[in-house]
Amino acid sequence: MDKNEESTLGEITQIMVFKALADPVRLQIVQYLKHIEHEVACGEVGKAINISKTSGSYHFKLLQSAGLITARKEAREKYVTLNKQTFDQFVTNFYENL
């Protein structure tokens, strides 16, 4: 496996990124992660924004496949952070790259 892989294997498209951001729950997750600025367990985020673990699992998976977060599993917990690179490439520079 390549040394330069991201934790998301599989292609990231512009549509996947905008779809991932086009939901209130996922926007709250992203906001929470930006303000906390270090790794957090999914469960902690879920509690903070008050969603069920099933729903959390669904939303984190979607954010991950859009490349917006990276995840690291340590024992029982899954720690997530924002992947700024994807925001830069697909959001911040969207208009100019159009």
Partner DNA sequence: TAAATAGTTCAAAACTTGTTGAACTATTTA
Partner DNA sequence: TAAATAGTTCAACAAGTTTTGAACTATTTA
Binding segment for a copy of itself (CB under 8 A), chosen from 18-26, 38-46, 47-55, 72-80, is 18-26
Distance between CA 32 and CA 46 in Å, rounded? 10
Instruction: Work out how close the CB of 41 gets to DNA at its nearest, in angstroms, rounded to a whole number.
Output: 3
Residues 6+ apart with CB under 8 A from 19: 66
- 66 in Cβ contact with 9 (< 8 Å): no
What is the spatial distance between Cα 93 and Cα 58, in angstroms, rounded to a whole number? 27
Contact mark string toward a copy of itself, 36..75, x via CB under 8 A: ----------------------------------------
Residues that bind DNA (CB under 7 A): 19, 22-23, 25, 41-44, 46, 51-62, 75-79
